[in-house]
Protein backbone atom coordinates (compact mmCIF):
# COMPACT_ATOMS: atom_id res chain seq x y z
CA UNK A 1 0.00 0.00 0.00
CA UNK A 2 1.42 3.40 -0.99
CA UNK A 3 1.62 6.24 1.51
CA UNK A 4 -1.25 8.02 -0.24
CA UNK A 5 -3.38 4.88 0.05
CA UNK A 6 -2.42 4.61 3.72
CA UNK A 7 -3.83 8.09 4.31
CA UNK A 8 -6.98 7.40 2.31
CA UNK A 9 -7.66 4.25 4.31
CA UNK A 10 -6.79 5.45 7.80
CA UNK A 11 -9.04 4.81 10.77
CA UNK A 12 -10.48 7.91 12.37
CA UNK A 13 -13.05 8.32 15.11
CA UNK A 14 -13.99 9.65 18.52
CA UNK A 15 -14.20 8.02 21.94
CA UNK A 16 -17.38 9.49 23.37
CA UNK A 17 -16.58 8.67 27.00
CA UNK A 18 -13.61 11.02 27.02
CA UNK A 19 -14.42 13.12 23.93
CA UNK A 20 -11.02 12.31 22.41
CA UNK A 21 -10.40 11.74 18.71
CA UNK A 22 -8.11 9.12 17.25
CA UNK A 23 -6.52 8.61 13.85
CA UNK A 24 -4.44 5.61 12.79
CA UNK A 25 -2.78 4.64 9.53
CA UNK A 26 -3.32 1.02 8.47
CA UNK A 27 0.40 0.51 9.13
CA UNK A 28 0.15 1.68 12.75
CA UNK A 29 -3.17 -0.08 13.34
CA UNK A 30 -1.71 -3.39 12.14
CA UNK A 31 1.44 -2.86 14.23
CA UNK A 32 -0.61 -2.31 17.39
CA UNK A 33 -2.75 -5.39 16.71
CA UNK A 34 0.27 -7.56 15.92
CA UNK A 35 2.50 -6.54 18.81
CA UNK A 36 -0.15 -5.74 21.46
CA UNK A 37 2.23 -2.95 22.49
CA UNK A 38 0.82 -1.05 25.45
CA UNK A 39 3.26 1.77 24.71
CA UNK A 40 1.74 2.25 21.25
CA UNK A 41 -1.85 1.81 22.38
CA UNK A 42 -1.54 4.41 25.13
CA UNK A 43 0.05 6.93 22.75
CA UNK A 44 -2.42 6.66 19.89
CA UNK A 45 -5.71 5.31 21.25
CA UNK A 46 -7.72 7.49 23.67
CA UNK A 47 -8.39 6.16 27.15
CA UNK A 48 -12.04 5.38 27.90
CA UNK A 49 -11.44 6.65 31.43
CA UNK A 50 -12.92 10.03 32.14
CA UNK A 51 -10.62 12.68 33.55
CA UNK A 52 -10.92 16.13 35.04
CA UNK A 53 -9.50 18.72 32.66
CA UNK A 54 -6.89 20.76 34.54
CA UNK A 55 -5.04 22.46 31.70
CA UNK A 56 -5.78 24.89 28.86
CA UNK A 57 -5.66 23.92 25.18
CA UNK A 58 -2.87 26.45 24.50
CA UNK A 59 -0.53 26.00 27.45
CA UNK A 60 2.41 27.67 25.68
CA UNK A 61 0.22 30.63 24.66
CA UNK A 62 1.34 30.28 21.05
CA UNK A 63 -1.59 32.32 19.79
CA UNK A 64 -0.13 35.33 21.62
CA UNK A 65 3.13 35.03 19.65
CA UNK A 66 1.58 34.88 16.17
CA UNK A 67 2.27 38.17 14.35
CA UNK A 68 1.33 36.48 11.08
CA UNK A 69 -1.14 33.64 10.66
CA UNK A 70 0.61 30.24 10.89
CA UNK A 71 3.87 31.80 12.18
CA UNK A 72 4.87 31.67 15.86
CA UNK A 73 7.67 34.00 17.00
CA UNK A 74 8.41 33.15 20.65
CA UNK A 75 12.22 33.29 20.50
CA UNK A 76 14.14 36.25 19.13
CA UNK A 77 16.17 34.29 16.54
CA UNK A 78 13.70 31.47 15.84
CA UNK A 79 10.24 31.07 14.36
CA UNK A 80 7.82 28.19 13.93
CA UNK A 81 5.74 27.79 10.78
CA UNK A 82 2.68 25.52 11.00
CA UNK A 83 2.19 24.40 7.41
CA UNK A 84 -0.59 21.87 8.08
CA UNK A 85 -2.78 20.59 10.91
CA UNK A 86 -2.90 17.07 9.50
CA UNK A 87 -0.99 14.11 10.97
CA UNK A 88 -0.79 10.49 9.90
CA UNK A 89 -1.77 9.48 13.46
CA UNK A 90 -3.04 11.50 16.40
CA UNK A 91 -0.78 11.47 19.46
CA UNK A 92 -3.00 11.66 22.53
CA UNK A 93 -0.55 14.01 24.28
CA UNK A 94 -0.22 16.48 21.40
CA UNK A 95 0.68 20.06 22.32
CA UNK A 96 -1.33 21.40 19.38
CA UNK A 97 -4.50 19.36 19.75
CA UNK A 98 -6.40 22.60 19.30
CA UNK A 99 -5.40 22.67 15.62
CA UNK A 100 -4.62 19.04 14.76
CA UNK A 101 -8.20 18.05 15.61
CA UNK A 102 -9.90 21.07 14.05
CA UNK A 103 -10.21 20.45 10.31
CA UNK A 104 -8.10 21.89 7.51
CA UNK A 105 -5.72 24.70 8.31
CA UNK A 106 -5.70 27.62 5.90
CA UNK A 107 -2.08 27.83 4.75
CA UNK A 108 -2.22 30.28 1.87
CA UNK A 109 -0.10 33.10 3.26
CA UNK A 110 3.44 31.88 2.54
CA UNK A 111 4.28 35.17 0.85
CA UNK A 112 3.26 37.08 3.99
CA UNK A 113 5.34 34.72 6.16
CA UNK A 114 8.41 35.14 3.93
CA UNK A 115 7.97 38.90 4.06
CA UNK A 116 7.79 38.91 7.86
CA UNK A 117 10.96 36.80 8.23
CA UNK A 118 12.78 38.95 5.66
CA UNK A 119 11.88 42.07 7.62
CA UNK A 120 13.32 40.55 10.82
CA UNK A 121 16.97 39.71 10.00
CA UNK A 122 17.50 38.48 13.56
CA UNK A 123 15.56 35.34 12.59
CA UNK A 124 18.11 32.65 11.73
CA UNK A 125 16.31 29.42 12.60
CA UNK A 126 13.02 28.28 11.05
CA UNK A 127 11.14 25.22 12.29
CA UNK A 128 8.62 23.76 9.84
CA UNK A 129 5.95 21.88 11.77
CA UNK A 130 2.20 21.45 12.02
CA UNK A 131 0.57 18.91 12.15
CA UNK A 132 3.22 16.97 10.28
CA UNK A 133 4.95 18.69 7.32
CA UNK A 134 5.89 15.40 5.64
CA UNK A 135 2.21 14.72 5.06
CA UNK A 136 2.32 17.40 2.36
CA UNK A 137 3.09 16.49 -1.24
CA UNK A 138 6.79 16.59 -2.07
CA UNK A 139 6.30 19.45 -4.51
CA UNK A 140 4.41 21.62 -2.00
CA UNK A 141 6.87 20.91 0.82
CA UNK A 142 9.91 21.65 -1.34
CA UNK A 143 8.30 24.85 -2.62
CA UNK A 144 7.95 26.05 0.98
CA UNK A 145 11.53 25.03 1.80
CA UNK A 146 12.84 26.81 -1.28
CA UNK A 147 11.09 30.07 -0.40
CA UNK A 148 12.39 29.96 3.17
CA UNK A 149 15.95 29.03 2.11
CA UNK A 150 16.08 32.08 -0.19
CA UNK A 151 15.84 34.43 2.81
CA UNK A 152 19.39 35.68 3.46
CA UNK A 153 19.17 35.75 7.26
CA UNK A 154 17.98 32.14 7.59
CA UNK A 155 20.89 29.88 8.54
CA UNK A 156 19.05 26.68 9.42
CA UNK A 157 15.72 25.08 8.53
CA UNK A 158 14.33 22.27 10.65
CA UNK A 159 11.44 19.89 10.03
CA UNK A 160 9.69 18.32 13.00
CA UNK A 161 8.03 15.03 12.03
CA UNK A 162 6.63 11.73 13.27
CA UNK A 163 6.12 10.32 9.75
CA UNK A 164 9.07 7.86 9.77
CA UNK A 165 7.34 6.22 12.74
CA UNK A 166 3.65 6.50 11.81
CA UNK A 167 3.88 6.29 8.02
CA UNK A 168 7.36 5.07 6.97
CA UNK A 169 6.09 4.42 3.43
CA UNK A 170 6.14 8.20 2.93
CA UNK A 171 9.96 8.24 3.00
CA UNK A 172 10.40 7.40 -0.67
CA UNK A 173 12.97 8.26 -3.32
CA UNK A 174 10.98 11.24 -4.60
CA UNK A 175 10.82 12.85 -1.15
CA UNK A 176 14.47 12.18 -0.36
CA UNK A 177 15.64 13.62 -3.69
CA UNK A 178 13.60 16.73 -2.99
CA UNK A 179 14.92 17.22 0.55
CA UNK A 180 18.61 16.49 0.12
CA UNK A 181 19.27 19.55 -2.05
CA UNK A 182 18.77 21.84 0.96
CA UNK A 183 22.18 22.00 2.64
CA UNK A 184 20.93 23.74 5.80
CA UNK A 185 18.03 21.32 6.42
CA UNK A 186 17.81 19.23 9.58
CA UNK A 187 15.06 16.77 10.49
CA UNK A 188 13.97 16.03 14.05
CA UNK A 189 12.01 12.80 14.40
CA UNK A 190 9.57 12.36 17.27
CA UNK A 191 10.21 8.90 18.81
CA UNK A 192 9.08 7.85 22.28
CA UNK A 193 9.54 4.10 22.68
CA UNK A 194 11.63 1.23 21.24
CA UNK A 195 8.43 -0.46 20.04
CA UNK A 196 8.17 2.27 17.40
CA UNK A 197 11.47 1.23 15.82
CA UNK A 198 10.30 -1.44 13.41
CA UNK A 199 12.22 -2.67 10.37
CA UNK A 200 10.12 -0.32 8.21
CA UNK A 201 10.75 2.74 10.38
CA UNK A 202 14.48 2.01 10.71
CA UNK A 203 14.81 1.64 6.93
CA UNK A 204 12.96 4.94 6.41
CA UNK A 205 15.22 6.72 8.90
CA UNK A 206 18.39 5.25 7.41
CA UNK A 207 17.26 6.29 3.93
CA UNK A 208 17.11 9.90 5.11
CA UNK A 209 20.43 9.65 6.95
CA UNK A 210 22.23 7.96 4.06
CA UNK A 211 21.08 10.78 1.78
CA UNK A 212 23.11 13.13 3.96
CA UNK A 213 20.25 14.72 5.90
CA UNK A 214 21.24 15.32 9.56
CA UNK A 215 18.79 13.70 11.97
CA UNK A 216 17.92 14.31 15.60
CA UNK A 217 15.20 12.93 17.83
CA UNK A 218 12.67 14.38 20.22
CA UNK A 219 11.11 12.23 22.92
CA UNK A 220 8.31 13.13 25.31
CA UNK A 221 8.50 11.70 28.82
CA UNK A 222 5.18 9.89 29.28
CA UNK A 223 3.75 8.27 32.39
CA UNK A 224 3.69 4.45 32.28
CA UNK A 225 5.00 4.50 28.70
CA UNK A 226 8.67 5.48 28.80
CA UNK A 227 9.29 6.94 32.28
CA UNK A 228 11.81 4.21 32.91
CA UNK A 229 15.61 4.15 32.81
CA UNK A 230 15.94 0.88 30.89
CA UNK A 231 13.36 1.84 28.27
CA UNK A 232 14.99 5.19 27.51
CA UNK A 233 18.50 3.71 27.58
CA UNK A 234 17.40 1.13 25.03
CA UNK A 235 15.71 3.77 22.88
CA UNK A 236 18.62 6.21 22.81
CA UNK A 237 21.18 3.52 22.04
CA UNK A 238 19.04 2.19 19.19
CA UNK A 239 18.73 5.70 17.78
CA UNK A 240 22.46 6.36 17.51
CA UNK A 241 22.84 3.01 15.75
CA UNK A 242 20.60 4.32 12.95
CA UNK A 243 22.36 7.72 12.75
CA UNK A 244 19.91 9.71 14.88
CA UNK A 245 21.26 12.00 17.61
CA UNK A 246 18.97 12.08 20.68
CA UNK A 247 18.30 15.80 21.00
CA UNK A 248 15.54 16.57 23.51
CA UNK A 249 13.65 14.64 26.17
CA UNK A 250 10.60 16.79 26.85
CA UNK A 251 8.57 17.05 30.00
CA UNK A 252 5.03 16.54 28.68
CA UNK A 253 3.31 19.90 28.14
CA UNK A 254 0.39 20.81 30.39
CA UNK A 255 -2.18 20.75 27.61
CA UNK A 256 -5.82 19.83 28.11
CA UNK A 257 -6.18 16.06 27.64
CA UNK A 258 -2.59 15.31 28.70
CA UNK A 259 -3.27 15.04 32.43
CA UNK A 260 -2.77 11.27 32.52
CA UNK A 261 0.65 11.49 30.83
CA UNK A 262 2.37 13.92 33.21
CA UNK A 263 5.42 12.53 35.05
CA UNK A 264 7.10 13.93 38.17
CA UNK A 265 9.91 16.16 36.84
CA UNK A 266 12.37 14.69 39.34
CA UNK A 267 11.95 11.28 37.74
CA UNK A 268 13.11 12.63 34.38
CA UNK A 269 16.07 14.39 35.99
CA UNK A 270 17.08 11.19 37.77
CA UNK A 271 16.88 9.13 34.57
CA UNK A 272 19.04 11.54 32.56
CA UNK A 273 21.61 11.95 35.33
CA UNK A 274 21.87 8.16 35.67
CA UNK A 275 22.35 7.82 31.92
CA UNK A 276 25.30 10.24 32.03
CA UNK A 277 27.58 7.64 33.60
CA UNK A 278 26.12 4.60 31.86
CA UNK A 279 26.12 5.31 28.11
CA UNK A 280 28.05 7.43 25.63
CA UNK A 281 27.38 11.15 25.95
CA UNK A 282 26.45 11.23 22.28
CA UNK A 283 23.29 9.25 23.13
CA UNK A 284 22.11 11.52 25.95
CA UNK A 285 19.52 14.20 25.14
CA UNK A 286 18.82 17.34 27.13
CA UNK A 287 15.84 17.00 29.46
CA UNK A 288 13.82 20.19 29.01
CA UNK A 289 10.58 21.75 30.14
CA UNK A 290 8.81 24.21 27.84
CA UNK A 291 7.50 27.24 29.70
CA UNK A 292 4.98 29.85 28.49
CA UNK A 293 7.13 32.69 29.83
CA UNK A 294 10.70 31.79 28.85
CA UNK A 295 10.47 28.89 26.43
CA UNK A 296 12.66 25.82 26.91
CA UNK A 297 14.55 25.38 30.17
CA UNK A 298 17.19 22.65 30.54
CA UNK A 299 16.63 20.49 33.62
CA UNK A 300 19.29 17.83 33.05
CA UNK A 301 22.06 16.85 32.66
CA UNK A 302 23.21 19.34 35.25
CA UNK A 303 26.00 18.51 37.71
CA UNK A 304 26.52 21.69 39.74
CA UNK A 305 24.83 21.60 43.15
CA UNK A 306 26.44 24.76 44.53
CA UNK A 307 29.32 27.21 44.01
CA UNK A 308 30.90 28.41 47.24
CA UNK A 309 34.20 30.29 47.65
CA UNK A 310 35.35 29.29 44.15
CA UNK A 311 34.59 25.63 44.89
CA UNK A 312 32.08 23.84 42.69
CA UNK A 313 30.12 21.16 44.49
CA UNK A 314 29.32 18.55 41.85
CA UNK A 315 27.27 15.37 41.81
CA UNK A 316 26.18 12.59 39.51
CA UNK A 317 24.71 9.12 39.88
CA UNK A 318 28.05 7.81 41.23
CA UNK A 319 28.36 10.36 44.00
CA UNK A 320 29.66 13.83 44.86
CA UNK A 321 32.94 15.66 44.37
CA UNK A 322 34.42 19.16 44.34
CA UNK A 323 36.23 21.20 41.70
CA UNK A 324 38.30 24.32 42.38
CA UNK A 325 37.56 27.19 40.03
CA UNK A 326 40.86 28.97 39.23
CA UNK A 327 40.14 32.60 38.36
Taking only the tens place, the pLDDT of each residue in 61-114 is: 777 889 999 999 999 999 999 999 889 999 988 887 666 655 445 678 999 999
Nearest to 127 by CA among 295, 299, 297, 298: 295
pTM for the whole structure? 0.91
Distance CA 96, CA 271 (A): 27
Mean pLDDT (whole number) for 145-164? 97
Domain definitions of the chain by residue range: 3-324
pLDDT of 262: 92
Nearest to 218 by CA among 181, 174, 250, 260: 250
In CATH, the architecture of 3-324 is: Alpha-Beta Barrel (3.20)
Partnered with residue 289 across adjacent β-strands are: 297
Mean pLDDT (whole number) for 260-284? 93
Percentage of residues in the chain with pLDDT exceeding 90? 66
Mean pLDDT of the chain: 90
Partnered with residue 52 across adjacent β-strands are: none
Confidence of residue 12 (pLDDT cuts 50, 70, 90): confident
Contact status, residue 83 vs residue 130, Cβ threshold 8 Å: yes
Amino acid sequence: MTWEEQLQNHSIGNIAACNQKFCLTPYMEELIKRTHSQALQKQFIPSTLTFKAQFSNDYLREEEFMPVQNLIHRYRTKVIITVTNQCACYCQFCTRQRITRSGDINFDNLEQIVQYISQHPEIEDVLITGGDPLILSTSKLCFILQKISEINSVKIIRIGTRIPITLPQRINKNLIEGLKIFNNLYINIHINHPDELTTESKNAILALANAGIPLGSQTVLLKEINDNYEILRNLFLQLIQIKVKPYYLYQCDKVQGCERFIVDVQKGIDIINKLCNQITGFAIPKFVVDTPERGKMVLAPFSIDEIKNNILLLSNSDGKCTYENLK
